[in-house]
Amino acid sequence: MSRLESFIRRLDAQRLCLDWAAGAVAARPGAVLELGLGNGRTYDHLRARLGAGREIYAFDRQLAAHPGSVPPAERLILGELRDTLPAFAARGVPVALAHADLGSGDVAATAALAAWLGPQLAALLPPGGLVLSDQALTAPGLEPVGLPAGVPGDRYFAYRRA
């Protein structure tokens, strides 16, 4: 498979998962976390699917998003995730959905971040909270959830907080 085909496959899976998750949390109270704002495409997609009334907090090291895909200043959290996510958790904001798109070309760094992130999200989300991730996560309290039809099992991952 070419890199282009792999990229398209990833984006198709991501869109299917985001649409499914938006429907799954539509009636559930709580904020949405976008971990890895990047260019802002998935933030913009979630904002369009969930509506203007849903608080979406976006996390990234630095702002590099398209100007039309930047959250309001009070919902943009910049810095190292290992610092900013625990500080956010201390606020006590209820979270319905966390979407993590943090994979990089550095396999070891990505694996280390995923190993750290799973327990953080398990502690942050209330029972029933949903996690979507481009990386497999493991943590007591996070239970794998079946992916929407059409999403290959190795392309995206979904979890529910027990």
Q: Whole domain around residue 86: which residue ranges? A: 3-161
The per-residue pLDDT for 10 is: 86
**Total of domains in the chain:** 1
State the residue for tokens 């949390």. Answer: 25
The per-residue pLDDT for 106 is: 84
- The CATH code of the domain that includes 62 is 3.40.50.150
In order along its 162 residues, the chain shows pLDDT tens digits of 899 998 898 899 999 999 999 999 999 999 999 999 999 999 999 999 998 889 999 999 999 999 999 999 999 999 999 999 999 999 999 999 999 998 877 899 999 999 999 999 999 999 999 999 999 999 999 999 999 998 987 889 999 999
- Give the separation between CA 117 and CA 123, rounded to whole angstroms: 10
- Strand ordering across the sheet containing 76-78: 76-78, 56-60, 31-35, 95-100, 130-133, 157-161, 142-144
The per-residue pLDDT for 72 is: 96
